[in-house]
Structure 1
Amino acid sequence: MLNKSTLPVLLLFFCCLTAQAQSAKDFHTWAATPPMGWNSWDCFGPTVTEAEVKANADYMAEHLKAYGWNYIVVDIRWYVQNDKAHGYNEKDPAYVIDEYGRFLPAENRFPSAAGGKGFKLLADYIHSKGLKFGIHIMRGIPVEAVRRNLPVKGTGVTAGDIYSEKDQCRWLKDMYTIVPGKTGAQEYYNSLFELYASWGLDFVKVDDLSSPIYFEQEVEMIRKAIDRTGRKIVLSTSPGETPIAHAAHVQQHANMWRTVGDFWDNWKQLKEHFAVFERWNKWRAPGAYPDGDMLPLGHIGIRAERGDPRMAAFTKDEHYTLMTLWCIFKSPLMFGGHLPDNDPFTLSLLTNRNVLKVLHESTNNKPLFRDEEKAAWVAEERGTGARYLAVFNLAEQQAPVPVDLEALGFASSCEVTDLWSGKALGKFSGAFSPAINPHGAGLYRITGL
């Protein structure tokens, strides 16, 4: 039996649990559907400029916003004045950093950052277009902040008190690890996101956070720092593959997380996603999405890490496979090419409302079958009894991809609509066996009669 003295304690306990559950629910609602946007990495590597970012925002606002595309993300090393194309300048990088050890945009690349304004004016410009603004950062504290022994804002400690050289990023040496539990460690992340919130940030991609080592405590510090700002900043972790042993944790703390390393425009890497997406399918939840990485489509490689300037090297059919697989799996869509250079075909891939409805609204998405030559996924249309079917020909020649309609719940006749073309294909019963081009895909809506 409860006595009067224990009731206040129990009420406080349940209030705390409710508050924690509400907090998790709230940040997941910030990405009610898989985020869709543009990222500068595939086309400009670490050298993107303010003018290029604005050009992509202008294009998105005019051509893509009406279809749900709304994030503009400045990728890596926006704080280096003298970075280089097709790699990184690690010989003599000229960092821009403030008195509290926080990187600031390089003014020679982002002129509106002059006078300590950071990304505020660029974010304002993007917001004025009805879009959202994002940046890429690296996990940890800058080596430069440690070298100068800069203070952590609002504390009596310095960068030198909270860092460790252990587990430093293997492929870029800008940062040191922040030691969880050290006085000033959480405060450093707090100061970082206070700054970003003051700029008007809506999205952050944190790199060197989830693979090959999953930094669980730093993920939690970042989550806490974001929530503390009161601003709805979507959290994306990178790179991949995120260790699946940490799937429950990353789902609890992030909005999206990488399932692969950097993905480029070749069939081998695209084909590998079928097994990867099957592995991660059970871990998708509303507001929390396994991320198949950016879409290396359109005009890429301009000043990127890999390859020369080019339109994506995928065949037309491989383009359809990529977009179909990402949508039926409900991966975030982050376009990698320079949007103003899109050709009509590339634009058509991004503006098919029937296909994007699968991304946004489908439920119970799951693989149906896969072997070396073919694969299929299925999903449900909420509230109608209709099914979405995606079929894939992984072989080197055209072939039918037969699907048992009864296994999809259609014991009698049904009608099939091709979502890419919008054409009604007619009535079918027993089996549906569309002929699919090599490396190609089909996406269909099936309804009972």
Structure 2
Amino acid sequence: MGWNSWNCWGNTVSHEKVMASAKAILESGLADYGWSYINIDDGWQGLRGGKENAIQPNRKFPDMKGLVDTLHSMGFKVGIYSGPWVATYAAHIGTQCDNADGTYDWVKKGLVNENYRMVDPSGKLTREQLWYSGKYSFARQDARQWAEWGFDYLKYDWNPHDWFSMKEMHDELQKCGRDIVYSLSNTALLPLAEEYVKYANCWRTTGDIRDNWRSISGIGFGRNSSWAPYSAPGHWPDGDMLVIGNVGWGRKYHYTNLTPDEQYTHITLWAMQASPLLIGCDMAVADKFTKSLLCNSEVIDINQDPLGYAATKIYGDNSYATYFKPLEDGSIAIAMFNLSESSKKIGFKPRAIGVIGDKITIRDVWRQKDITVMTNDRDRFDTEVPPHGVVLVKVSPGYTKERPAGSRR
């Protein structure tokens, strides 16, 4: 759980913007709910140098170690970004290179701006032309530098993934002398599923998320759901950063295009699927509603449940979907999503989902309120769900350890 700079600032991220969001998370009390990572995405890179000949920061980050130390002193862990290509998606230098000395031909030609991002006024060289594996890898040098600065998390970004690059950086992080979370991006490949489990702590299951219903529903009800069997403590399928609050990717800064109900669905899906939760908005201007979505301790508990199970779909069609997630305390989280454009009743029978008893409590998790106690497990619980919305409940007890008495048929 934490914050990432990309969805808000894109490659315009800077020391000042990172610190503003970190201070806002601390001052708003979000850190008390477990939001603990501050991750710097693409846009920090300058040239290679230093004792490791590793990537050094550009002028937007004049003292990277000082920044990391400050964030650590505030109680945060800190993340950094790179990728195994010659250049990253934002056209900064990557972990690989065509020259053994770590210099880059387009930099020598002056095709960079003041922050060493590739820019060719003629248009002949595009960033897409630089998205390839180079002759020489500097994975060892870069991993050592990140460890020296004190980073706790690495987002390593390219597509399609290849086994060699994935394992190479895993091995260098293991040897760098610091415990660093290894997060892969983007569009994970199902044939590599068992390899992700071996070598990565989390992996993005999709391309970049956008703040619209088609994007969040396509990820949550589609691609991310297929990764449920591989979710467990230590390795997590990642649905991408959250698109609530003020976003814009550094280009068109705006309040999210998701409706309030769609935002509830967004957070609920990610919580039920045990996806890493990374805030993507400008926390310095986050409104009360955005903060309320991020500060519901019962929703967070479902996401962070120690069992680490990702929810599975048990009912549904094109108009609705009901997801089921066992929790460590023996209770069950049930999320009822309305995929349609009109209000819809959705429900379940406790016995049909394996909950048996004569005192079954149904708790509305978002409202943090018990809403009914069912005395007959064959009765049906129904609730009205708004368009593109969700009702998230906790059903307890899921089972009992008491000796049975009388008929339970």
What TM-score, normalized by structure 1, do the two folds share?
0.76
User: Hey, what does 2:78 align to over in structure 1?
Assistant: 133
User: Hey, what does 1:51 align to over in structure 2?
Assistant: 16
User: Hey, what does 2:333 align to over in structure 1?
Assistant: 388
Q: Distance in 1 between matches of 2:323 and 2:97?
A: 50
Matched, 1:202 2:148: no
- The alpha-carbon deviation at position 101 of structure 1 amounts to 5.0
The alignment partner of 1:433 has SS state of strand
Aligned runs of 1:15-54 on 2, under 5 Å?
36-54=1-19
Q: Distance in 2 between matches of 1:394 and 1:171?
A: 38
Counterpart residue identity of residue 263, structure 1: I
User: Hey, what does 1:419 align to over in structure 2?
Assistant: 365
1:241-286 per-residue CA deviation (whole Å, 9 max, x = no partner) reads: x110111101110011011110011001112121223211001121
User: Hey, what does 1:13 align to over in structure 2?
Assistant: none
CA RMSD of aligned residues (A): 2.2
Counterpart residue identity of residue 332, structure 1: P
Q: 67, 78, 83: which one pairs with 2:33?
A: 67
- In structure 2, relative to structure 1, the CA distance for the partners of 1:72 and 1:239 (3 Å cut) is same
The alignment partner of 1:396 has SS state of coil
Q: Distance in 2 between matches of 1:120 and 1:339?
A: 23
Q: Is the 8 A contact 1:398 1:438 kept in 2?
A: yes
User: Hey, what does 2:139 align to over in structure 1?
Assistant: 189
Q: 230, 243, 251: which one pairs with 2:177?
A: 230
- The alpha-carbon deviation at position 146 of structure 1 amounts to 4.7
- The alpha-carbon deviation at position 102 of structure 1 amounts to 2.7
Residue identity over aligned pairs, in percent, reads 30
Q: Distance in 1 between matches of 2:273 and 2:203?
A: 14
- The alpha-carbon deviation at position 395 of structure 1 amounts to 0.7
The alignment partner of 1:424 has SS state of strand
- The alpha-carbon deviation at position 378 of structure 1 amounts to 1.2
Q: 234, 240, 250: which one pairs with 2:196?
A: 250
User: Hey, what does 1:103 align to over in structure 2?
Assistant: 55
- The alpha-carbon deviation at position 237 of structure 1 amounts to 0.6
- The alpha-carbon deviation at position 369 of structure 1 amounts to 2.1
Larger mean Cα displacement after TM superposition, 424-433 or 258-267: 424-433
Q: Distance in 2 between matches of 1:43 and 1:194?
A: 29
Unaligned 5+ runs, structure 1: 1-35, 80-94, 113-118, 153-169
User: Hey, what does 1:360 align to over in structure 2?
Assistant: 304
- In structure 2, relative to structure 1, the CA distance for the partners of 1:57 and 1:356 (3 Å cut) is same
Aligned residue pairs total 361
- The alpha-carbon deviation at position 175 of structure 1 amounts to 5.9
User: Hey, what does 1:217 align to over in structure 2?
Assistant: 164
Counterpart residue identity of residue 163, structure 2: E
1:390-447 per-residue CA deviation (whole Å, 9 max, x = no partner) reads: 1101011111112121122223441111010011101234211111000001111111
1:274-311 per-residue CA deviation (whole Å, 9 max, x = no partner) reads: 1223211001121100000011111111624xxx2211
- In structure 2, relative to structure 1, the CA distance for the partners of 1:189 and 1:296 (3 Å cut) is same
User: Hey, what does 1:318 align to over in structure 2?
Assistant: 262
- In structure 2, relative to structure 1, the CA distance for the partners of 1:362 and 1:127 (3 Å cut) is closer
Q: Is the 8 A contact 2:2 2:36 kept in 1?
A: yes
Q: Is the 8 A contact 2:97 2:134 kept in 1?
A: no
- The alpha-carbon deviation at position 366 of structure 1 amounts to 2.2
Q: Is the 8 A contact 2:224 2:238 kept in 1?
A: no
What TM-score, normalized by structure 2, do the two folds share?
0.83
- In structure 2, relative to structure 1, the CA distance for the partners of 1:375 and 1:361 (3 Å cut) is same
Aligned runs of 1:366-445 on 2, under 5 Å?
366-382=312-328, 384-413=329-358, 414-428=360-374, 429=376, 430-445=379-394
Counterpart residue identity of residue 384, structure 2: A
- The alpha-carbon deviation at position 174 of structure 1 amounts to 5.0
User: Hey, what does 2:245 align to over in structure 1?
Assistant: 298
Tell me which protein shows more helix as a share of its residues.
1
Q: Distance in 2 between matches of 1:432 and 1:224?
A: 51
Matched, 1:177 2:142: no
- In structure 2, relative to structure 1, the CA distance for the partners of 1:268 and 1:176 (3 Å cut) is closer
